[in-house]
Amino acid sequence: MVLKIRKKWASLVTTLVLMVFTVSAQNKETIQDGTPEQRAKIQTEWMKTNLALSAVQTEQVYNLNLQYAQKNAFILQSKDRKLSKYKKLKALQQEKSASFPQILDTEQYKKYQELKEQMLKAIKERRK
């Protein structure tokens, strides 16, 4: 039972990492099937729209998203077990989120956290 729950959580977080900044099924497919550059671009556009990023912030966010999309791709392509991938992806996501306060202002970061929580809840609801 515990292993089954862990597998579900691993799957949930992996999915979250891949589509954390998507809102539609079309974007979801693009993110999952795309290159790290495409994923970074989609994530950045989503953030630019929802957080009203400046041009400088947009460039910084894109560079950060690209850096982590490349790291995620490497992990996802590895032969590691799902739980190992889950742990690595979760750690990367936390590391990436910790970088945003240096780029975003206080209000933008607060909104980013709220939107992220809403997406997590939506994913959990779909899993039921």
Residue extents of the structural domains in the chain: 34-127
From residue 38, alpha-carbon distances to 74, 88, 107, 108, 126 in Å are 15, 21, 27, 23, 25
Give the lowest-confidence range in 101-105, 110-114, 117-121. Answer: 117-121
Q: CA torsion sign, 29 to 74 to 84 to 46?
A: negative
Mean pLDDT of 20-42: 69
Confidence of residue 23 (pLDDT cuts 50, 70, 90): very low
Spatial separation of the C-alpha atoms in residues 123 and 44, rounded to whole Å:
20
Q: How many CB atoms lie within 10 A of CB 43?
A: 23
Calpha distance 84→114 (Å, rounded): 28
Q: What are the distances in angstroms from CA 24 to CA 47, 74, 80, 82?
A: 14, 25, 29, 25
Higher pLDDT, 31 or 86: 86
pTM for this prediction: 0.72
